[in-house]
Every structure is written in C-alpha cells, then in structure tokens.
Amino acid sequence: MSLSHAVLTSLIEKSSSGYDLARRFDKSIGYFWHATHQQIYRELARMEAAGWIESSSAPDAGKTRKREYRVLDAGRAELARWASEPSPPMDLRDEFMVKLRADAALGELDLRGELLRRIALHRERLAHYREIEQHDFLHGKPLSREARIHHMILKKGILYEEGEIAWNGEMLGMLG
Amino acid sequence: MSLSHAVLTSLIEKSSSGYDLARRFDKSIGYFWHATHQQIYRELARMEAAGWIESSSAPDAGKTRKREYRVLDAGRAELARWASEPSPPMDLRDEFMVKLRADAALGELDLRGELLRRIALHRERLAHYREIEQHDFLHGKPLSREARIHHMILKKGILYEEGEIAWNGEMLGMLG
DNA sequence: TGCTCCATGTAACACGTTACATGATTGC
DNA sequence: GCAATCATGTAACGTGTTACATGGAGCA
C-alpha cells in the first residue's frame, strides 16, 4: 500500500490537518495519486495508532476540532524504508480504451464527441501545468535539488497531457 | 464500474471460458485494464445472473468443468449504452512519483538503481509492442476499421513506453 | 509417482467510493 | 438570517488482492 506513504510524504513537506491534506490531494500530489478525504482520515487514524505520526489541536484551531498532524521519526524511517524498495510500474486502467475496443467489436458507436471532450480537457490541464511551471520553475533563479525533482514530476504531467492531446487528435482523424 | 464491460468486450471478440479470459487479461486488453482470475469469475457470475451472458459446458470440455460464456443481446445493449456515455479521464496512480517526492523531502535515497530497472522494463515492453505492431498491423495489407482501432490502441501503449523511457532517462541524468 | 498446467471456485481482508451527519466559521 | 466553506467523522457497499482448495489432463 502506498496511500499511507503518499500522506506521510505530504505531511513531511508540511504538517497539516486532514482537511488540508485532502485539498492538497486534489492538487500537486493528487495529480498522480488521488484520494478522498475519507481515505485520508482513515490513514491518519491508522498511522497515529502505529506511532508514525502524532497530532494535537492545530495552532489556528480556535474553537473548531481542527487538528495538526506531524511525522515522527518512526514515520520518517518507514517512509525511507518503503521508498528504497523496488516497486512495480504503474498499471494503466483506461476506461476509454475499453470503449474504443467495444466500438471496434460492436460497430460504429461514434465516439468523436467524447474525443473532442477529452482533447479539450487535456488542453486545459496542460495549460494549467504550464502556468505552474512558468511560475515555480522557469523564473531563472537556480533551483534546489528538491525543486528540480518537483519540476521533473511536473514535466511528466506535461508530457502525459501532450501525449494525450496528440493521440486523441490522431484517433479523431481516424474516426472522422 | 467497467471491469464487467471490459469482460463483455473481450467476450464479444471471442466467446471463451473464464480461464481463457483471465489469460487474455494478462495480454492485449490487460495492457490497459488488469484483472485477476477471481475478479473475472465474480463478474461472469454476476453478468450471467443479470442476463447479459449465458454459459454452457465448453465444446472442448471433455471431462473437465470448462464452461464457455457467450454474450446475449441484453449484454450487447448494455455495452453499447455504457460505451456511449462520457467517462472521466483515467487517473494516474504512480507509486514511483511518490517515492521521488519522498526522496526530495527526506534527502538522498539514491533511486538510480530503481530508475535503471524501470528503463530496462519499459524497453522490454516497447520491444514487445513493436513486434506485435510489425506482425499484426504493418504487413502492408489494408486494415479493417476494427484492426485500425486496435492499432491505435497499441500505438498508445508504444507512445507511453517511449515516454517513460525518455523521462526516466532524463531523471537519471538529473540524479546522476 | 510426482510435476506442471488447466480450470473453477471460496474466504478473508484491504482499499476505494458514496451517502450521510454534525457543528463551527465566513461572507453576503 | 442564510448559504457556502471549513473540518471531522460514521456506515454501507463495491472493487481489488491474496491465500487456499479442489480435481482433471498431460508428461516424464
């Protein structure tokens, strides 16, 4: 399992509440590892029970229940252990490829509208990633090792979106 | 859910036993939609109960329990219905990106060995896909609509593997 | 005889998704 | 005052993974 490790990583980057983590999982880390807030709260409870993290009422809690989670040494050690072991490559699970194959098997279903929708969506994401890249990584100042790694991860997202746009465009040409 | 629809598609392409389906999910359709044999048996049982497919003792069963599943009209209708509705883009879930981010946050973990391993693996897959492409799609004879769609799907796999190799190579350069 | 592959399944558990619930704070 | 957002959770269910079980067929 690596949701717990994704949460650990995110918490090392910045101690936070479950709610803040959930929002961060809708951005940055969530671009390649999605999670709902329920999953995150579940993991936080488990990791606290395991002694990987600790929590206390958040500094800015006021009268709310807001808690802040911090990573303990045991958590850091576990993350380092996990990150150093080999992992299987991600497996693709692309519903749309199944649909294309269904189209091929059944005869014409006309998936062109869907292709157009997907192209628009990937273009939008690409534009968003490029904005982040401009702002965070292409400002000319030298980048830390950490920033260079983050840049490479973002570039992977950019390459992925570009690939999707190109391939979907070619597919559209074929079906058109 | 679309495991059931992936199974339906595969069954329309060719009526088969659960076991044969499971092996096909380790190849072709499995390149972008993985499933274990238990999942497949579970889905077959459900779909038979729902009246989407029917089964009988396989023609080549002999004294074994081998069964053959066939798609019924209700199954075809369901597949067409599902394929025509919009679907969310696939979400990436790449463990290695989490590891890189953990490396960035914790300090040096030395993921170069893992990068080399991944490059070798993607090269192998790429070679395999290219062989299939040569054999099935680049023989010079004209291709049916069905074959052209299958070719595009395979090309997506090829582009993906090429992208992985290039990006992992660049990452290796950065960490080296 | 023993090994591997074919073929189907049960059971238990881990993970992911969806719906619902609760109460405080912020902005109009 | 009302709606939206912040913040945390419970419950139920669906999907995915792992381990184990069973028995026939083919082969050395």
How much of chain B exceeds pLDDT 70, in percent?
100
Chain A contact for B70 (CB, 8 A cutoff)? no
Quote the pLDDT of residue A64. 86
Same domain, A9 and A44: yes
Domain holding A154, by residue range, is: 95-175
Residue B154 binned pLDDT confidence (cut-offs 50, 70, 90): very high
> Are residues B142 and B118 part of one domain?
yes
Question: Helix B73-84 and helix B3-13: axis angle, to 10°?
Answer: 120
CATH classification of the domain holding A38: 1.10.10.10
pLDDT for residue A13? 96
Q: Are residues A119 and A154 in the same domain?
A: yes
- In this structure, are A37 and A70 located in the same domain? yes
Buried b (16+ CB within 10 A) or exposed e, B31-43: bbbebeeeebeeb
Residue A23 confidence (pLDDT):
96
pLDDT of residue B142: 97
Determine the pLDDT at residue B159. Answer: 98
Token reading at A88: 């299987």
In this prediction, residue A27 carries a pLDDT of 86
Which residues of B, range 104-143, sit inside 8 Å of A by Cβ? 104-106, 109-111, 114, 117-118, 121-122
Q: Are B106 and A79 in contact (CB under 8 A)?
A: yes
CA B82 from chain centre, in angstroms, equals 18
**The pLDDT of residue B63:** 83
Q: How would you write the pLDDT of chain A (176 residues) with one tens digit per residue?
A: 789 999 999 999 999 999 999 999 998 888 899 999 999 999 999 999 999 999 999 998 878 899 999 999 999 999 999 999 999 999 899 999 999 999 999 987 999 999 999 999 999 999 999 999 999 999 999 999 999 999 999 999 999 999 999 999 999 999 98
**In terms of domains, do B19 and B76 share one?**
yes
Task: Check if the beta carbon of residue A75 is closer than 8 Å to that of residue B14.
Answer: no
Q: What local confidence, expressed as pLDDT, does residue B108 receive? A: 79
Give residue numbers, 80 to 119 of A, with CB < 7 Å from strand D: 93
Residue A166 covered by a domain: yes
Q: Is a pLDDT exceeding 80 seen at residue B1?
A: no
Domain end point (choices A83, A114, A143): A83
Give the per-residue pLDDT at A78. 96
Asked, for residue A68, whether it belongs to a domain, the answer is yes
> Do B8 and B69 belong together in one domain?
yes
| Sole residue written with tokens 């991600």 | A90
Q: Do residue A76 and residue A115 come from a single domain?
A: no
Please compute the mean of the pLDDT values over residues B38-47 and round it to a whole number: 97
Domains identified in chain A, total number:
2
List the single residue in B with minimal CA-CA distance to A159: B163
Contact B167 A156 (CB under 8 A): yes
CA distance A94 to A140: 37
Same domain, A102 and A167: yes
Paired strand residues for A52: none
Band (pLDDT 50/70/90 cuts) for residue B30 is confident
Residue B76 at interface with chain A, using a CB cutoff of 8 Å: yes
What pLDDT was estimated at residue A61?
82
pLDDT (0 to 100) of residue A55: 96
The Cβ-side half-sphere exposure at A7, using a 13 Å CA radius, reads 31
**Using one digit for the tens of pLDDT, what is the confidence trace for B77-121?**
999 999 999 999 998 999 999 999 999 999 879 999 999 999 999
Q: B55 in a domain, yes or no?
A: yes
Instruction: Please check whether residue A119 lies inside any domain of the structure.
Output: yes
Q: Are residues A115 and A170 in the same domain?
A: yes
pTM equals: 0.94
What would the pLDDT profile of B155-168 be if each residue is shown by its tens digit? 999 999 999 999 99
User: How far is it, in rounded angstroms, from Cα A111 to Cα B41?
Assistant: 30
Whole-angstrom distance, CA of residue B158 vs CA of residue A64: 52
Q: Do B12 and A155 touch (CB under 8 A)?
A: no
The predicted structure's pLDDT at residue A74:
97
CB contact under 8 Å between A89 and B118, yes or no, is yes
